[in-house]
Structure 1
């Protein structure tokens, strides 16, 4: 069986924990035996991406055709960078839709759900996001639910910031089994929330 690939797509103004939290969970899962390769990527080639709290992160490559694509949130309520700028630009949403059409499981953390909504992936589906974007997500025809994690099969969404940890742990359990997920959860001393769906 081929190795599972996961890519977390970064953009200017993304929220640090939305991306780095899931990255650490998935890397720990690989160390615990999951046949998984995780990368922090960008849409276009770039050396560094500046996150919402000014952390500068080096990209590990450009977006490929991963099995699992995770879109972080951050910056929905700001006017410079972040998810708002990514949605207005449209390129990230188009890339997400393309990967989804090619068979990737797509997941979002926090306001990253707005990118999935722009890509047309949440229409009529249950979805979670950060409270600051719930009304906007509802306006996009998603069925907004107040949950930390929503698993709707090939599309998963997570609520506010720290729920990215729950999302990644759920992906690990779903793809590689409860034993590895529990091992990672114990290692990180993190107690997971419930999954909706």
Structure 2
């Protein structure tokens, strides 16, 4: 983690500790100070863990699906967070933002704490049709402590056989694709079923990320990171779901996804047969 950002995180978590009454006991294996006035020795030792987190990138992925959770995961002290792809060449997202991977699929750790898969629209179909991407997801997901996704990333997980009989969520435009691929649809912001954690569409990645911080550390840690990010949403419109959007807006946007679930099911089933 960048030293400046770590120092800010330390300050934020220190406030959480003070509020929770946990700041009095000093850890025996204290980490050194990260900057003036930021003494990490008051932190519980379990807050620093050597998590291995792989975040899959593929051509046309939705950037915010990955960037929101990446912000949260890289706030985990001690964690190794890698964006992984077929090669180390920059991967261009659906809207043109290029991300440079940290490792290739071959270079990524064999055994992971967290496997994460972002979603996309057309990019998802490319991922489903790419044997290398699907083999990586199926292989690492079979052993990872936590198998996770945001948006239509859950369609990719389902096609890899990782959501069979599991409750999961996805973007509202793809909900009809999950059950034909073996999952059990639960249309919620974040869904946990055992060690499978899935987030709904795009911005749900922030809620997903905070959920993962609580799971991998604890609630105080997650709330400290939330405060540091000033994640206190107050959207100017109540149109963030099919339930709250005006009917004419829901109809207009829904038309964009006509036929999408059927295509996703066909592509997912083909990917699963190929595996």
With the shorter chain as reference, the TM-score category is: 0.7 to 0.9
The structure-2 alpha-carbon separation of the partners of 1:17 and 1:186, relative to structure 1 and needing over 3 Å to count, comes to same
More helix by share: 2
2:83 aligned residue (40, 44, 48): 40
2:214 matched residue in structure 1: 173
**Structure with bigger RCO (C-alpha 8 Å, 6+ apart):** 1
- Maintained 8 Å contact 1:96/1:106: no
2:96 aligned residue (49, 54, 72): 54
**Alignment pair present for 1:83 and 2:129:** no
Q: CA RMSD in A?
A: 1.7
**Alignment pair present for 1:154 and 2:200:** no
2:62 aligned residue (15, 18, 30): 15
TM-score by length of 1: 0.86
Who wins on radius of gyration, i.e. which is larger?
2
TM-score by length of 2: 0.63
More strand by share: 1
2:41 matched residue in structure 1: none
Which blocks of at least 5 consecutive residues in structure 1 are unaligned? 193-197
C-alpha distance in 2 between matches for 1:90 and 1:122? 19
Following TM superposition, the consecutive aligned residue runs of length 4 or more in structure 1 with deviations greater than 3 angstroms are none
- Maintained 8 Å contact 1:127/1:157: yes
Q: Give the length in aligned residue pairs.
A: 182
C-alpha distance in 1 between matches for 2:232 and 2:194? 23
**Alignment pair present for 1:100 and 2:147:** no
- Maintained 8 Å contact 2:142/2:162: no
C-alpha distance in 2 between matches for 1:100 and 1:59? 19
- Maintained 8 Å contact 1:67/1:104: yes
